[in-house]
Copies of this chain bind each other. A is one copy, B any other.
Amino acid sequence: MAEIAVMGYGIVGAGVVGVLEKNSDIIKKNAGEEVNVKYVLDLRDFPDDPIQEKVIHDVEILLADKDVELVVETMGGVEPAFTFVKRALESGKHVCTSNKNLVAAKGAELLKIAKEKGVYFLFEAAVGGGIPIIRSINNALTADRIESVTGILNGTCNYIISKMERDGESFEAALKKAQDNGFAERDPENDIKGYDSCRKIAILASIISGKAVSYEKILTEGIDGVCAEDIAYAKSLGMKIKLLAKCAYEDGKLSAITAPFLIGSKHPLFGIDGVINAVSVHGNAVEDVAFTGAGAGRYPTASAVVSDIVDAIKHKGKDEYPVLWSEDELVPEDAGDNMYQYFVRIRENEKNDDSAFEAVRTVSLDELEDEYGIITDEMTHKEFEERSQKVEMISYYRVI
């Protein structure tokens, strides 16, 4: 029997305990032995929950207990999670976490310690919730050179935009609905500014490159500027606005971006609406493979954490380190150099310089009389910025 401890008894932590319980037979079969939760570390007490008998408030207890082989970290945030996880690894315990902030900030260091200590540091749940995207890249698409990864990695943003699109709602109204339905935090900045997606694509970029990609160096634009008129233009073009997190790795060079894009109906992520996540992976043999599922939520996220527990227990001592990136930093190429087509809303205005953009497509909406939209040729963002000086631009989106 493998004894484990869970740090943080919130939504995901309680989900992990729940899944371990309800699927104990399957987990035992897959892991090769029974998994038992010995401690739950939390600041709070849970007097009405049978878990209470396992609750401890002092991390030293679980760190000192030699019987505890594995620690689940579902506290969130970088500290004190980092200190606790580091010490758990240093005491020779495997760690499975759902904490994207921790992995994005400290992944390389923690992976190195784990490897030195002969234990596993696993984090399937940190990207895409229940979607087995990390395991698929590492253990399944092993015959491929993974050239790029494109994801809808934030369900909150995708819910908001889908809602605006379907019901013609304003950004503010859709955000409020997301909050009322529990799909968005009271302070939604981390989601709507793209910070959450950016951390997740940094993790995926680190996996495909094998190097430490700093999320701070990824160009990140949020969805807080998306308005009903932008959505109306997208619709009239037969396209959709999606917050995409993208990275591409070729010849040792990484490009990465998180931004709202205008995407066409043939894009693999076009049909992904509502509060779900999807990741499209392009390999040089398999072509495009997409993975879709619940990107958050108690049980889907717990499913991913528990699959990490199964993997760690099953492979203990077997030296199976699929997810590894070094501490060498890989700085993304200047995002200003990436080539994209752009969609631009321009105000009807005599001062606009007609030569600013060559439009491959022009669109105007009956209800917006004093403006029009164009889709430009491909150009770098630097060139785009220069050209856009010559017109009165209302908003813009990259187009793929």
Contact = CB atoms under 8 A, between A and B. Distances in A.
A294 B15 CA distance: 34
A221 interface: no
Interface string A285-301: 11111111110010110
Contacts of A22: 284-285
A303 interface: yes
24 contacts: A23-B144, A23-B285, A26-B144, A30-B142, A124-B140, A132-B140, A132-B289, A135-B136, A139-B139, A141-B303, A142-B307, A143-B302, A143-B305, A143-B309, A143-B310, A285-B300, A285-B303, A285-B306, A287-B297, A287-B299, A287-B300, A289-B294, A290-B290, A290-B291
A19 interface: yes
Contact of A144 (B135, B297, B303): B303
A130 interface: yes
Nearest first, the 5 A-B pairs at minimum CB distance are: A271-B271, A143-B306, A132-B140, A285-B303, A289-B293
A351 interface: no
Contacts of A27: 142-143
A23 B145 contact: yes
A268 interface: yes
Contacts of A283: 303
A59 B26 CA distance: 41
A263 to B, nearest CB: 13
A131 B271 CA distance: 18
Contacts of A132: 136, 140-141, 289
A147 to B, nearest CB: 11
A311 interface: yes
A300 B124 CA distance: 24
A287 B294 contact: yes
Given A15-B285, A135-B140, 6 more contacts: A26-B144, A124-B140, A139-B140, A289-B291, A290-B292, A291-B292
A289 B145 contact: no
Interface in A104-126: 124
Contact of A288 (B268, B286, B289, B294): B294
A302 B143 CA distance: 9
A304 interface: yes
A294 B300 contact: no
B141 A285 contact: no
A163 to B, nearest CB: 15
Contact of A135 (B26, B124, B139, B311): B139
Contact of A140 (B136, B289, B290): B136
A133 B289 CA distance: 11
Contact of A286 (B136, B303, B309): B303
A270 interface: yes
Interface in A53-72: none
A30 B142 CA distance: 6
A130 B31 CA distance: 27
Interface string A262-274: 0000001011000
A293 B287 contact: yes
Interface string A125-167: 0000011100110011111110000000000000000000000
A126 to B, nearest CB: 15
